[in-house]
Amino acid sequence: MKGISVKKSEDFSRWYTELLQKAELADIRYNIKGFVPYRAWASISIKRMYDKYEKCLEKKGHMPLIMPTLIPERNFLLEADHVEGFSPQVFWVTHGGDKKLEERLALRPTSETALYQMYSLWIRSYNDLPFKRYVPGQVFRYEGGDTRAFFRAREFHWIESHDVFATEEEARRQVVEDMETTQEMLEDEFAIPMIFFQRPEWDKFAGAVHTYAADALMDSGRVLQLPSTHLLGQNFSKPFNVTFMDENNEEKYGWITCYGPAISRIYGAMIALLGDDQGLVLPWDLAPIQIVIIPIYRADTKELVLKKVKELSELIEILIDDVYIKLDDRDYVSPGEKFNEWELKGVPLRIELGPKDIENDQIVAVNRITGEKMRVKQAELNDFIENYSSKFTKQLKEKYSIQFESQVEVTKTIDEVKKAIGENKIACTGFCSIDLDGENCAEIIEKEVKAFVRGKRVDKESHKFEKCVVCDKPAHETVYIARSY
């Protein structure tokens, strides 16, 4: 298996395309634009990502649902902003066999209009609240522009949680919890550094009161939107009649939030951000194979070495619980080719064993992140692997968190913003308002800089500015500007 032919820093787009192909992650040759088959290596990691996310949501009180893929058109028409925002992206089903349907049915682009019709039937009393549910599955959106596997497609693999509360205060607390969940998953489990922004009013989810979204910065200098959470208020509960009887037996409208981690897009961000010139680098828990053992021998030592590597593989499986291990004893592939193949596919730990290692009762362990080679006595193997596996993902997180912060540039003029964007950075600057009053300034930035106002940080903000970078009016916000996928 040949490695990647281009450096990531020199041509990110080509590097990414080769990574998908040569690491056997996805095949873009499927003959419907934007619909991509995910191959086994990617599917295993994505399955584990779903498992982690669903367990996290359930620990926080969410229960799963399985919902129909089709939504009747009349559901969309109940919320004006929502239908206006999503209609251009809807795939419509118009026929059942040869018969034209009386009503068009939408392939689900998002689940609000499917769920809330049912919530109006399921929720009766304040005793039913909070009502926290999540839906794993696929959604479909007719993306009119360019598509890229995992980043931007017409079929997304994701999870939606939709929660109903008795009060606005409880709903706002859920939005904060959603952001905390995102940080737990993306940064701690998937090693993806990100910034959470409150999106500008002109860029919020169709039908939301406010939208909060995580952005990750890719090596291309573009940001990729990852999970977003939305305070919907009562904008959907009123048209869909999502009500409850309170303690005084009065009917009240529920306060709704929704949260949407797109697992396939998070996977795309993870492989693009963590990968290097050799190929994939994957967090320990998500790697389809975590340890690969490669025997190194000559003809006269082959039998001995193969016997020992088999014993070593069996020993590791006994010593370490739930480890995914591969013994690569193919005799038609050279050790060097095996090294390149498993580096390309992102195996976190490579173990080499040759005649001299057997003599010295040791193994050679190679770190996928750093390439460092370590000689480990077999008597210390259990402690070594447990320590290595527990620290591997943290090592990735620390490496890329430092890199991420260095790519944010403080700017005070449009020329400085242009320079930062041209250097593949995120520009931090002063802005008049992320309410609709600032939309004209945002349009100027989009036109002159070819980048977008992503919003204001929801965590600590250490930078303050006196004037808006566009109109010179007082800066009421500190915003971040970047190109995006």
pLDDT digits (tens, 9 = 90+) for 157-168: 999 999 999 999
Count how many Cα atoms sit within 13 Å of the Cα of residue 172 in the half-sphere of its side chain: 5
Q: Does residue 285 register a pLDDT over 80?
A: yes
Give Cα 275 distance to the centre of its chain.
Answer: 15
Rounded distance, CA 43 to CA 70, Å? 25
pLDDT digits (tens, 9 = 90+) for 97-136: 999 999 999 999 999 999 999 999 999 999 999 999 999 9
pLDDT digits (tens, 9 = 90+) for 413-436: 999 999 999 999 999 999 999 999
**CATH 3.30.110.30 residue ranges in the chain?**
408-484
Higher pLDDT, 400 or 95: 95
Q: Does residue 1 register a pLDDT over 80?
A: no
**CATH 3.30.930.10 residue ranges in the chain?**
12-274
Please state, rounded to an integer, the average pLDDT across all residues of the chain. 94
pLDDT, residue 221, reads 79
Count how many Cα atoms sit within 13 Å of the Cα of residue 213 in the half-sphere of its side chain: 23
pLDDT, residue 77, reads 84
pLDDT digits (tens, 9 = 90+) for 293-339: 999 999 999 999 999 999 999 999 998 888 999 999 999 999 999 99
Count how many Cα atoms sit within 13 Å of the Cα of residue 8 in the half-sphere of its side chain: 17
| Whole-number percent of the chain with pLDDT over 90 | 87
pLDDT, residue 80, reads 67
| Whole-number percent of the chain with pLDDT over 70 | 99
For the residues 58-68, what does the mean pLDDT come to?
Answer: 97
pLDDT, residue 93, reads 96
pLDDT, residue 150, reads 93
Handedness of CA 410, 411, 417, 419 (dihedral sign): negative
Architecture of domain 289-388: 3-Layer(aba) Sandwich (3.40)
For the residues 62-75, what does the mean pLDDT come to?
Answer: 95
Rounded distance, CA 394 to CA 193, Å? 12
Angle between helices 263-274 and 381-405 (to 10 degrees): 90
Architecture of domain 408-484: 2-Layer Sandwich (3.30)
pLDDT range class, residue 401, cuts 50, 70, 90: confident
Q: Which of 139-153, 331-345, 381-395 has the lowest mean pLDDT?
A: 139-153
**pTM for the model:** 0.93
pLDDT range class, residue 227, cuts 50, 70, 90: very high
Own/partner pairs, 438-447, CB within 8 angstroms, 24+ separation: 438/200, 438/468, 438/477, 439/200, 439/201, 439/202, 440/471, 441/468, 441/469, 441/470, 441/471, 442/200, 442/202, 444/470, 445/414, 445/417, 445/469, 445/470, 445/481
**CATH 3.40.50.800 residue ranges in the chain?**
289-388
For the residues 90-99, what does the mean pLDDT come to?
Answer: 96
Beta bridge partners of 430: 478
Quick one: residue 81, left, alpha or beta (phi over 0 = left, psi -120 to 50 = alpha)?
Answer: alpha
The helix or strand, by DSSP H or E, that contains position 104, with its residue range, turns out to be strand 99-107
Architecture of domain 12-274: 2-Layer Sandwich (3.30)
pLDDT, residue 400, reads 82
Q: Which amino acid type is present at position 376?
A: V
Handedness of CA 186, 191, 192, 195 (dihedral sign): positive
For the residues 181-210, what does the mean pLDDT come to?
Answer: 94
Q: Does residue 354 register a pLDDT over 80?
A: yes
pLDDT digits (tens, 9 = 90+) for 434-474: 999 999 999 999 999 999 999 999 988 889 999 999 999 99
Q: Does residue 222 register a pLDDT over 90?
A: no
Angle between helices 439-449 and 414-422 (to 10 degrees): 50
Task: Phi first, then psi: give them for residue 217, nearest 5 degrees.
Answer: -95, 120
